[in-house]
Amino acid sequence: MVFGLAEFVFAATSKLWLFDLSRAVDGLSAAMFVPTSMALAADITTREQRAKVIGWLSAAFSGGLMLGPGLGGLLANISYKMPFWVAGVLGIISAIVAFFALPADAQEERQIHTERADEELAGSSWDAVKKMMTPALVVLFVMILVSAFGLAGFESIYSLYVNQVHHFDLTTIAAVLTVNGVLSLMLQVFLFDHLVIWFGEVQIIRWSFFISVIGTLIVIYDHSHWQLFVAMLVVYEGFDMLRPAITTLLTKMSESNQGLLNGINMSLTSIGNIIGPLLSGALLDMNYQAPYLVVAVFMLVSFFITFGVSHEMKIA
Q: What tens-digit pLDDT sequence spans the chain (316 residues)?
A: 999 999 999 999 989 999 999 999 998 888 788 778 877 877 777 777 777 787 788 778 777 776 777 678 778 888 889 999 999 999 999 999 988 888 766 554 544 454 444 444 444 555 666 666 677 777 778 888 888 888 888 888 888 888 888 888 877 877 787 787 788 878 877 888 888 888 888 888 889 899 999 999 998 887 777 888 888 888 888 888 888 888 777 777 766 666 677 777 778 888 888 888 889 889 888 888 888 899 899 889 888 888 766 655 554 3
Question: What pLDDT, on the 0 to 100 scale, is given for residue 93?
Answer: 95
The pTM for the full model equals 0.69
Distance from C-alpha of 257 to C-alpha of 245, rounded to nearest angstrom: 19
Query: What domains does the chain contain, in order, with CATH numbers?
Result: 2-309 (1.20.1250.20)
Question: What pLDDT, on the 0 to 100 scale, is given for residue 96?
Answer: 93
**Cβ 247 vs Cβ 38: under 8 Å:** yes
In b/e form, how buried is each residue of 248-272, taking b as 16+ CB within 10 angstroms?
A: bbbbbbbebbbbbbbbbbbebbbeb
Question: What pLDDT, on the 0 to 100 scale, is given for residue 34?
Answer: 78
Distance from C-alpha of 272 to C-alpha of 123, rounded to nearest angstrom: 29
What number of residues does the chain have? Answer: 316
Q: What amino acid occupies position 306?
A: T
Distance from C-alpha of 40 to C-alpha of 104, rounded to nearest angstrom: 10
Question: What pLDDT, on the 0 to 100 scale, is given for residue 9?
Answer: 94
Question: What pLDDT, on the 0 to 100 scale, is given for residue 309?
Answer: 63
Q: CA-based Rg of the chain, rounded to a whole angstrom?
A: 20
